[in-house]
Amino acid sequence: MKSVLVLLCVLLPLTFACQSGLTDKGLYFSKPSANSFVKLTALKPLNLEAFTLCMRLFVNPAVVNQGNRDTILFAYCTKDGDELNVWQEKGKISLYLRSSSDGAFYAVQPLSIFGTDLCVTWESSTGLTAFWVDGRRSTLQVYRQNHKVQSGGAVILGQDPDSFLGNFDENQSFVGEISDVNMWDYVLTDDQIRNFNEKVWVGPAPNVLNWNTMQYEVSGNVREVPEKNK
């Protein structure tokens, strides 16, 4: 398997670096860009009827927290378009499922230069959706009840693809550090999400995106850095 991975890395364009596992590491996007991003390889297809998505973010507030700026935090797109996106936009955190206009919006404090633990949960059967910021849950919303996230796409950090893996907008790019991007295909319990915030993980291993083991490809000016603790 390792020899196959090495061959794959050699065959990829030189602008990409093929890697595996980011234990105790973060990804640093130093400035706005239209070509710096990281593609994550999921452990299983993202045909999801529920999920928990968590990440740690340390942002450059002079860029990301500008009042009129939209910043992509997580993007999953297929060839048909946006499938699952998380944004900070105009002072709110938002989730979009197969849409760029109909989202679930939450007014929360701006992302911090000192770090923000962010999770979002969604369940198709009920539509119940919530954001968790530093271990505290928002009020619930009903969003996209009976919807299903489709497989066959690509997970991107740092950019919002307006076409499949391309057509990036520098003014929407992520600027700062991101780490511990993990995803489960079900809704975690409240206590498990609080444990993520406290970095004392005793729950089930992430089964869709696992930061410690997943393969990833880097393009542009993205640096691997030691993970920063809050």
What is the C-alpha to C-alpha distance for residues 105 and 16, in angstroms, rounded to an integer? 34
- 120-145 pLDDT, tens per residue? 999 999 999 999 999 999 999 999 99
Residue 225, both tokens: 């850095």
**CA atoms of 130 and 113, how far apart (whole Å):** 23
- pLDDT given for residue 195 in this prediction: 85
d(CA 230, CA 222) in angstroms, rounded, equals 21
pLDDT-based confidence at 4, cuts 50/70/90? very low
What residues form DSSP beta bridges with 157?
38
Highest mean pLDDT among 2-16, 78-92, 116-130, 187-201: 116-130
- pLDDT for res 206: 96
Distance CA 58, CA 4 (A): 35
**pTM, entire model:** 0.90
User: Residue 13: is its pLDDT beyond 50?
Assistant: no
- What is the length of the chain? 230
Say if CB 116 and CB 133 are below 8 A apart.
yes
Residue 8 binned pLDDT confidence (cut-offs 50, 70, 90): very low
Q: What are the tokens at 138?
A: 């928002």
**Minimum mean pLDDT among 39-43, 66-70, 156-160: which range?**
66-70
Are the beta carbons of 159 and 37 closer than 8 angstroms? yes
Contact 38, 15 (CB under 8 A): no
